[in-house]
Amino acid sequence: MREIDIIRKKFPEARVLLCHFHVIKWLHETIRKSKKYGVYEEDVLSQMKHTITNMTYARTPDAYTSHRDEFKSLAHRGDRTELWDYFVKNWDECCEMWVMAYRVGLPHFGNHTNNRVQSLFGKLKRYLKGHLTMRASLKVLLAYQRRKEEEYTAKVEMPGTLRDVSYCEQMNIALGMTTRLVAAAIKTQYDVATDDSIADNYAFKDNGTTVTVQCDERKYTLDKEGWTCNCEFAQTMKLPCRHAMAYRKTCGNPRIIPFSSISPRYVQVSPMY
């Protein structure tokens, strides 16, 4: 946890998430190999492994609680408490960092592991050597970044307009302006904003230049000039969020996606309106 404490100290506004692969691997090895929590029978260990996986991928807090209670029952076999006490202190108290239910709404592009970072490190190691000075290492990193930027620019600026038959016209405009990954992120917000069963739960208060958006106990502030929101998705991705789209929909705006709030770093072609 020392590394996490350092990250939180240096980046106080960052949301820290744990890699699902390493969470499951660590807990599986802990229950099987650590002697200080006692030795469990093979059938109990097998059930624990399934429960750990179920806790990690639980998509609602209630589902997580149910699987956690099952793990508690297994950990208490033989009147033992050491494993459960360890789990509560080190894992249950920070479940928002690793349980799917508390991160499912974040922009993760369908990846909940750090394999992309590890892949990047593997590629960089081919160029970075232990004998290089700091200056030489920085030159290698900058050259690699410049090469990747050129590859990306060549890819996204090729002639032609992307379209997806499953998208509505507005989503195809967003796709034509950006890339498939960016459009897919916008679509997650568009689907929520256009789903009446979900969007009807939003309450809006017009404050003039801003709008207060409330859903359950959560409140967000939407700036009407740039259609930017202080929600986690908008602040992290710099893309139109569901709150802006839902508000524009209630106002009768025919274009519920505020294309102007798409960060310039994503834009290949500007919309004609």
Instruction: Give me the DSSP letters along 89-153.
Output: HHTGGGGGGT-GGGTTTS--TT--SSHHHHHHHHHHTTT--TT--HHHHHHHHHHHHHHHHHHHH
Strand, helix or coil for residue 273:
coil
- Tell me which H or E stretch contains 222: strand 218-223
Q: Which of 262, 244, 228 is nearest to 194 (CA)?
A: 244
pLDDT of residue 84: 95
Distance of CA 55 to the CA centre of its chain: 18
Distance of CA 238 to the CA centre of its chain: 14
Give, rounded to a whole angstrom, the gap between the first and last alpha carbons of the chain.
Answer: 50
CA angle (158, 161, 162) in 5-degree steps? 105
Band (123; pLDDT cuts 50, 70, 90): confident
pLDDT of residue 161: 64
Q: What residue type is assigned to position 107 of the chain?
A: P
Mean pLDDT taken over the chain: 88
pLDDT of residue 272: 47
How large is the average pLDDT for residues 168-179?
A: 90
pLDDT of residue 269: 62
This prediction has a pTM of 0.58
216 versus 18: which is more confidently predicted? 18
Q: How many CB atoms lie within 10 A of CB 233?
A: 20
How large is the average pLDDT for residues 138-149?
A: 89
Residue 270 has pLDDT above 70, yes or no: no
- Tell me which H or E stretch contains 221: strand 218-223
Tokens 């969470």 found at: 23
pLDDT of residue 243: 95
pLDDT of residue 62: 95
pLDDT digits (tens, 9 = 90+) for 11-30: 988 889 999 999 999 999 99
Query: Is 170 in contact with 182 (CB distance < 8 Å)?
Result: no
Cα torsion 150, 152, 154, 155 to 10°: value is 160
pLDDT of residue 271: 55
How large is the average pLDDT for residues 255-273?
A: 80
How large is the average pLDDT for residues 231-247?
A: 93
Residue 78 has pLDDT above 90, yes or no: no
Residue 230 has pLDDT above 50, yes or no: yes
Residue 67 has pLDDT above 80, yes or no: yes
Sheet holding 210-215, edge to edge: 203-206, 210-215, 218-223, 228-229
Q: What is the CA radius of gyration of the chain?
A: 23
The set of residues, in sequence order, having a beta carbon less than 8 Å from that of 96 and lying 6+ positions away, is: 102, 103
How far is the C-alpha of 104 from the C-alpha of 99, rounded, in Å? 9
Band (159; pLDDT cuts 50, 70, 90): low
How large is the average pLDDT for residues 218-230?
A: 92
Band (273; pLDDT cuts 50, 70, 90): very low
